A and B are shown apart, each in its own frame.
Chain A
Amino acid sequence: MFRYIIRRLLQMVLAFFGTTLLVYWLMFAASGDPLAALAGEKPMSPSVRAALTEQFHLDQPFIVQYFYYMKGLLSFDLGNNLSNRDIADLVLSAWPYTLRLAFLAFIFVVVVGIPLGVWVAMKRGGVFDTTVLLLTLVIISIPVFVIGSTLAMIGSMYGLWVTNVGGAGTLSAYLVPAIVLGSLSLATAVRLTRGSVSENLRADYVRTAKAKGLKRLRVVGVHVLRNSLIPVITFLGIELGGLMGGAIVTEKIFNIPGIGFELAKAINLEDGPTVVTIVSLLVIVYLVMNLIVDVLYAVLDPRIRYE
């Protein structure tokens, strides 16, 4: 197990440098002249331009710029963005909003998705099962911006729920955005749980558990569920990583000043440092969640031993 984790950590380092390099290069190639974007309509004096070029190493080749950037990132200096704001500050102020949204969405997915999946698996083939399956298919097929905009529109037309959350919104204001954000994961979680549970319900060990005289609730709730949740938890772990990385569309629709919101803003402004920094952090979150999922997998399924 220990060796497995070490090996995974080394893989993580490679993946981290690979993705950041790629993102950095994309941003480098996409932005024409970041200083012009910064200056906007107002012409920039040559001395200011020279100073900024010097400050951001803009006259250096790509790989050197990347090197400077990594040096800063690894010494926990996230640097300043093009409007000279501390990026660490920006991230720290934005992330709590995203986390609030992410955890609410995650709880929604877990609390609704797993029980619903188990329920329909036990009623497999029935009307309820078919209805739920159809609904999940519909949800999966609709892009999130359609669901989001529709719910935002309905909410604001009839004054049913908060549609402009802003920075001061209470936790309840995040409820509808969380449902929008979680809907896709929910649909997938229901289908995954259903498939996994109904497959396990046919397993031989279920018959053994019944033959032992255990109650049905215990057979399903302990024997079947413990086996069925292995793939579901894997999925949920990676989803949580994704959710914590912010949701550009949902945050934008409901005006939540989270990470996704800031990222979208930075992309529009061609603010390379901010984009790359946020993406790098997201990569780290994602990689860590992946590692946790892999370790969890080994804990949940004793047959898997990574040696």
Chain B
Amino acid sequence: MGKHSTDQSVIEKASAPGPDDGGGHLLEVRDLFVEFRTGEGVAKVINGVSYHLDAGETLAVLGESGSGKSVTAQAIMGILDSPPGFVTGGQILYKGRDLLTASENERRAVRGKEIAMIFQDALSALNPVFTVGWQISETLRKREGLSKKDALDKAVELMDLVKIPAARERLKAYPHQFSGGMRQRVMIAMSLAQQPKVVIADEPTTALDVTVQAQIMDLLADLRRELNTAMILITHDLGVVADVADRIAVMYAGRIIEHAEVHALYKSPAHPYTLGLLNSIPRLDDKGKTLRTIPGLPPNLTRIPAGCPFNPRCRYVRDVCRTDVPPSVSLGEGRDAACHFAREVLAGTLEPTRKDPEL
């Protein structure tokens, strides 16, 4: 425990005033800490996450399951299940105002109206016993004070906007009567109802067929252009982010281990984990070969390894990686990476220390 708290202070110092800290961002997460207090111990789910979002841009947050990307989003929305989840440090600034110290009413005023969220599985995220028209128009009636008829008209507009065919006829349909893709469109329409400045899309395509995934991503990209909404796109799929995102933040074990402009990151990653992720994308000329993976599993968050949390899986591991938590290093042009050898990885000059980590 004592070991961990010293580790944390290193992270705090390292990532608190980052190079992006120019102030005046639309949304900014500063050095956020979240832990889950469960029967098996305290899981440190978020360990000093910082990122920011400006009006109209798209930030992709990338990471494996359990890397803390969704939890960060829930902390921003203030919908973290508590208990077991507790925010133990940091700030979430929306237009300069810290949401974490705001009253519940102030937070509620931001929820949905300023920052909206699109959830992963629309079938369970939509209420099964209300019609989609009712659900899309609910906030318009209850928060915008529209009449029932006006709210439903607006709902039809929103459904048209997300390209649901025969929108007016489908107002009275229930979520289970829609296909997966259409349901996700309903979810998107609902999130846009109050014209939010920020939309957080939490793995919006994970539950969908591959063909439908592309359609939904296209829709999100179109909407962002048309409405100039800023978007945080949470995903574990490198394939979907390239066309949509402006910047990418890669998360591992509750930290952002690399943050870069999207093309720069694809071109040359500065963290071995990102490198591993990019290498694990199957390619056409790989036919017949074994798919490349990153060996091992993400760490148990109740027992994050000392030093760099990625060190047991890293091919480039050095002694310092097992003892010191790497600070976030600024590499210029808004690029950061939390690796002791970020510059060498970026330049491609770092030699692997082992073929496969001993696991």
Chain A residues with a Cβ under 8 A of chain B: 203-205, 207-215, 218, 223, 226-227, 230, 300-303
A208 to B110, CA, bound (A): 14
In the complex, what residues of B have CB within 8 A of residue A226's CB? Answer: 127, 129-130
Q: Tell me which residues from 127 to 169 in chain B have a Cβ below 8 Å from any Cβ of chain A.
A: 127-131, 138-139, 142-143
A203 to B81, CA, bound (A): 11
Please give me the residue from chain A that is nearest to B173 by CB atom: A302
Contact B142 A218 (CB under 8 A): yes
In the complex, what residues of A have CB within 8 A of residue B130's CB? Answer: 223, 226
Contact A204 B128 (CB under 8 A): no
- Shortest B266–chain A CB gap in Å is 31
Contact A214 B138 (CB under 8 A): yes
How many residues of B sit at the interface, in one of the four size bands? 20 to 34
Between-chain CB contacts (< 8 Å), 13 pairs = A204-B119, A204-B121, A205-B126, A210-B111, A211-B116, A213-B110, A213-B111, A213-B113, A213-B194, A214-B112, A223-B130, A226-B127, A301-B128
Bitwise interface map of B from 172 to 205 toward A, beta carbon under 8 Å scored 1, else 0: 0010100000000001001000100000000000
In the complex, what residues of A have CB within 8 A of residue B350's CB? Answer: none
Contact B129 A212 (CB under 8 A): no
Q: Contacts A218-B142, A302-B176, A303-B174: A211 and B117 contacting too (C-beta < 8 A)? A: yes
A207 to B127, CA, bound (A): 10
Please give me the residue from chain A that is nearest to B120 by CB atom: A204
In the complex, what residues of A have CB within 8 A of residue B110's CB? Answer: 213
In the complex, what residues of A have CB within 8 A of residue B128's CB? Answer: 205, 227, 301-303
In the complex, what residues of A have CB within 8 A of residue B113's CB? Answer: 213
Contact A205 B111 (CB under 8 A): no
In the complex, what residues of A have CB within 8 A of residue B194's CB? Answer: 213
Contact B111 A223 (CB under 8 A): no
A181 to B54, CA, bound (A): 64
Contact B125 A214 (CB under 8 A): no
Set B108, B125, B143, B174: member contacting A208, Cβ < 8 A: B125
- Shortest A298–chain B CB gap in Å is 12
Set A212, A215, A300: member contacting B190, Cβ < 8 A: A212
A124 to B342, CA, bound (A): 49
A212 to B124, CA, bound (A): 15
In the complex, what residues of B have CB within 8 A of residue A208's CB? Answer: 117, 119, 125-127, 187, 190
Assess whether B232 is interfacial by the CB under 8 Å rule.
no
Q: Contacts A213-B194, A218-B142, A303-B176: A227 and B127 contacting too (C-beta < 8 A)? A: yes
A212 to B194, CA, bound (A): 9
In the complex, what residues of A have CB within 8 A of residue B124's CB? Answer: 203-205
A211 to B117, CA, bound (A): 7
Contact B129 A209 (CB under 8 A): no
A230 to B128, CA, bound (A): 12
Please give me the residue from chain B that is nearest to A209 by CB atom: B127
A205 to B138, CA, bound (A): 14
Contact B111 A207 (CB under 8 A): no
Please give me the residue from chain B that is nearest to A303 by CB atom: B176
A212 to B109, CA, bound (A): 10
Q: Contacts A212-B112, A226-B130: A205 and B142 contacting too (C-beta < 8 A)? A: no
A40 to B266, CA, bound (A): 102
Contact B111 A212 (CB under 8 A): yes
Contact A212 B139 (CB under 8 A): yes
In the complex, what residues of B have CB within 8 A of residue A214's CB? Answer: 112, 138-139, 142-143
- Shortest A40–chain B CB gap in Å is 60
- Shortest A59–chain B CB gap in Å is 60
Contact B127 A223 (CB under 8 A): yes
Contact A207 B139 (CB under 8 A): no
- Shortest B108–chain A CB gap in Å is 5
Contact B121 A211 (CB under 8 A): no
Contact B125 A204 (CB under 8 A): yes
In the complex, what residues of B have CB within 8 A of residue A213's CB? Answer: 108-113, 139, 143, 194
Q: Contacts A205-B128, A226-B130, A227-B128: A212 and B121 contacting too (C-beta < 8 A)? A: no
A208 to B132, CA, bound (A): 13
Contact B79 A210 (CB under 8 A): yes
Q: Contacts A205-B126, A227-B129, A301-B129: A211 and B111 contacting too (C-beta < 8 A)? A: yes
Bitwise interface map of B from 85 to 109 toward A, beta carbon under 8 Å scored 1, else 0: 0000000000000000000000011
